[in-house]
A = this chain, B = another copy of it.
Amino acid sequence: MKTRIGIVGVSGYGGSELLRLCIGHPSFEVVYASGESTVGQTLAQRFPALAGQPTGKIVIESFVPERLAGIDLLFASLPTGKSAAALAKVPASTRIVDVGGDHRYAPGWVYGLTELPGQRERIATTTRLANPGCYPAAALLALAPLVKEGLVESEGIAIDAKSGVTGTGRGGASDFGYAETNEDLFAYGLGGHPHVPEINRTLADLGGSKASVAFTPHLVPMTRGILATCYARPRGKFDTAKLYAAAEAMYAGEPFVKIVATEKGRGPHTKWASGSNLIFISYAVNADTGLVVAVAAIDNLGKGAAGQAVQNANLMTGQAETAGLSGLPLWP
């Protein structure tokens, strides 16, 4: 029997991707969907590809926790600030993967960046899972081996991150019309960003000492993709190979982490990950300054949101960790 899945926030970008992944999943069956901006529409009206399919007949509801009886696992993809209240009344027996930002490092919730040391076991036994933010997913997996092995200072790391427009969430779309966004690029969050605490906390846990990052996100004219370029001061003197060795040791056997050599000086491409749960990471020691440069590329809706969420849900429900996540990226 399949795992019965509900999706909260199906109208947003993250919710849409969750729906796509769940429908392609061999052991999941979507039985419920809510989305405040599209209440009363069928999923087929919202996603025309579902016309004529049973899932397409599901009517999008307004979220009411009492309606969730019989649902095994709930994916919630709500704007930050909206999920804490909405999910408080969900029955304890219903597993939750919260893709939103309200429960990261909250008491009773497990932080779901699967590839961090020890995290896989915690995820498998929880019923309350907080998915990492899209930016932290990229930056933390790139930095984790270096901080854990003590190769870099964990204070004063600069994380220059670039995201496609879906990273802003669909609610922000009116701010990001095509005409304004195409051929434009800018930095934001110069006064602070909500993803910083989970980055600092995770790095501190990994390295065993205080961590601080200067995190500067940028909006790039593309739909999907995050590239995180991280600059850290080295502890001691070593070459690029040592960075790769640390990463390969930490991620040996990980199905979704690809440690890649630079080619003609180029790091990983966001397009390599499009539509997938993969993360590609490259390293370099900068010749002019000795600074360590770590670059990670993901699909912000994949490893940065829905893909990571399904990976966690697989662990929580006893599926193979890669179930429903083995499709190749869409290229070009």
The complex places the Cα of A288 from the Cα of B225 at a distance, in Å, of 26
Q: Which residue of B lies closest to A283 (CB)?
A: B190
Find chain B residues with CB under 8 A from A297 CB: 185-186
Q: Which residue of B lies closest to A180 (CB)?
A: B332
Find chain B residues with CB under 8 A from A28 CB: none
A2 → B minimal CB distance (Å): 15
Find chain B residues with CB under 8 A from A215 CB: 288
Find chain B residues with CB under 8 A from A287 CB: 191-192
Decide if A303 is an interface residue (CB 8 Å cutoff).
no
Find chain B residues with CB under 8 A from A187 CB: 227, 229, 266-267, 282, 295
Decide if A66 is an interface residue (CB 8 Å cutoff).
no
Report how many copies the assembly holds. Answer: 4
Find chain B residues with CB under 8 A from A223 CB: 178-179, 182-183, 332
Q: Which of A95-103, A159-167, A309-317 contacts B (4 or more CB under 8 A)?
A: A159-167
Partner of A289, one of B50, B156, B258, B275: B156
A255 → B minimal CB distance (Å): 8
The complex places the Cα of A227 from the Cα of B186 at a distance, in Å, of 7
A48 in contact with B327 (CB, 8 Å): no
Find chain B residues with CB under 8 A from A48 CB: 258, 260, 268, 272, 280
B328 in contact with A282 (CB, 8 Å): no
B190 in contact with A295 (CB, 8 Å): yes
* A177-231 CB contacts (< 8 Å) to partner B: 177-193, 196, 200, 212-216, 218, 220-225, 227, 229, 231
Find chain B residues with CB under 8 A from A178 CB: 165, 173, 176-178, 181-182, 221, 223
Q: Which residue of B lies closest to A269 (CB)?
A: B186
The complex places the Cα of A182 from the Cα of B269 at a distance, in Å, of 11
Partner of A291, one of B186, B214, B273: B214
Interfacial residues, chain A to chain B (CB-CB below 8 A): 13, 16, 19-20, 23-24, 47-52, 155-158, 160, 162, 164-166, 170, 173-174, 176-193, 196, 200, 212-216, 218, 220-225, 227, 229, 231, 233, 255, 258, 260, 262, 264-276, 278, 280, 282, 284, 286-291, 293, 295, 297, 326-332
Q: List 16 A-B contacts (CB under 8 A).
A: A13-B332, A16-B332, A47-B328, A48-B260, A49-B328, A170-B177, A174-B177, A180-B332, A183-B271, A185-B227, A185-B270, A186-B268, A186-B269, A188-B264, A221-B221, A224-B332
Question: 13 new A-B pairs (CB below 8 Å) besides A48-B280, A157-B289?
Answer: A13-B332, A20-B330, A162-B185, A166-B179, A178-B178, A184-B271, A187-B267, A187-B295, A188-B265, A192-B288, A223-B332, A275-B275, A275-B330
